[in-house]
Amino acid sequence: MSEQSNFGPDLGEVFGPNHADGGPELVQLLTPEGERVEHPEFSFDLGDEAIKGFYRDMVLTRRIDTEATALQRHGELGIWAQLLGQEAAQIGSGRALRTQDFVFPTYREHGVAWCRDIDPLRLLGLFRGVDQGGWDPDDGNFGLYTIVIGAQTLHATGYAMGLQRDGVVGTGDQDRDAAVVAYFGDGASSQGDVNEAFIFAASYNAPVVFFCQNNQWAISEPIERQTRIPLYQRALGFGFPGVRVDGNDVLATYAVSQAALQRAREGQGPTLVEAYTYRMGAHTTTDDPTRYRLSEDLETWKLKDPIQRVKAYLTRNGLVDQAFFDEIETEAERLGEHLREGCRALPEPRVLDIFDYVYAEDTPELAEQKAGFAAYLDSFETTGAH
């Protein structure tokens, strides 16, 4: 993949000749062919029922994504950030969370939102332009989508420092000890904020898991533009462990996230998890990946599809019958309908309301602007409604 450059080493060794394989450090528990494999350090400690649940989660998450993409194509959404291909990274890490844990997402964590019981309809508001985050972060402990790349990793670290001060870290009480997950991508790993978050988290031993979905592309820029070493290895320089996990393997992302979260909850500090995956879709619906990447890469990664390998595992081992798949398909249809109908029914924002959201304690200046604008609107008899 990487070309020999006159200005640096051939990166083939660190990224692999074809970097799709993730290298020898990759933690994998379920192969692309659907075979269970063991790893000396990480194991999947749940049964087949959980795997069936993950399968359902991933199929429904993909449905949310395809439905939202279609809604954008129909002009119902202004834009949509697709997660196609990243379902296992999000469901595995999302299902490893406990109720008391807190999540700081980017704008692509639709699968994690699903795990936090956020109605996927709420995710559409931002992309439809009716709101800038339609849920209460304290419901489901899921922060608002953050668009400035990497900013939320510091929020996560600060929240984790708050947990320490609240005495809910390392008490040994499984229902009480909490951790935070900061989601971000390979592009964000170049941001100062992410590096500052690593430093703060290391310095205070904060209970935060930095969960990087390395989907290989920051819009058009490949991972080689962001880093000269595998991202997970950066953790070492900051003084905490880093793990590269097969981001398309839901068993492995669950196991690794679970271990990292447990470390954090127990007071052993931060971990960097690099979920090695691939953005199979575009950056967003406005992007055109054919301008900058090869279709053969996509074909390679299609063979590693996170959903197909679980399906292969379930089928090959006779763990499910056709009715199982039919039921999920029916559920997906209902979810699609919910999104299509719900999206069009999302209430339009009212322009006078925005004045009320600026401050917790209103200012006379803004009250005056609001009143003035209301009077102005009222002066148009024909369009007076607002």
Partner 1 sequence: MAKITLAKGLNAGIRKAMENDPKVLVMGEDVGKLGGVFRITDGLQKDFGEDRVIDSPLAESGILGTAVGMAMRGYRPVCEIQFDGFVYPAYDQIVSQVAKIHFRSQGKVTMPIVVRIPFGGGIGAVEHHSESPEAQFAHTPGLKVVACSNPVDGYWMIQQAIACDDPVIFLEPKRQYHADKAELDESTTPQPLFTSRVVREGSDLTLLAYGPMVKTAMASAEAAATEGKSIEVIDLRTLSPLDLAPVFASVRKTGRAVVAHEAHVNLGMGAEVASRITEACFYSLESPVLRVGGFDTPYPPSRIEEQWLPDLDRVLDAVDRSLAF
Q: Looking at 225, 228, 292, 334, which residue is catalytic?
A: 292
* Given 72, 106, 157, 277, the residue binding partner 1 (CB under 8 A): 157
Q: Looking at 244, 279, 309, 313, which residue is catalytic?
A: 279
Nearer to partner 1, 204 or 324 (CB): 204
Under rule CB under 8 A, residue 197 binds partner 1: yes
Structure-token pair, residue 292: 């900058």
Nearer to partner 1, 316 or 350 (CB): 350
Under rule CB under 8 A, residue 144 binds partner 1: yes
Identify which range of 39-47, 63-71, 93-101, 137-145 contacts partner 1 by CB under 8 A. Answer: 137-145
CA–CA gap between residue 294 and residue 259 (Å, rounded): 36
Residue 286 C-beta: closest distance to partner 1, Å: 21
Identify which range of 17-25, 162-170, 224-232, 240-248 contacts partner 1 by CB under 8 A. Answer: 162-170
Under rule CB under 8 A, residue 364 binds partner 1: yes
Under rule CB under 8 A, residue 131 binds partner 1: yes
Identify which range of 16-24, 58-66, 245-253, 359-367 contacts partner 1 by CB under 8 A. Answer: 359-367
Residue 279 catalytic? Answer: yes
* Given 13, 48, 166, 337, the residue binding partner 1 (CB under 8 A): 166
* Given 46, 50, 319, 366, the residue binding partner 1 (CB under 8 A): 366
Q: Which residues form the interface with partner 1 (CB under 8 A)? A: 104, 131-133, 136-138, 143-144, 146, 148, 151, 153-166, 180, 192-193, 196-197, 199-200, 203, 353-354, 356-361, 363-366
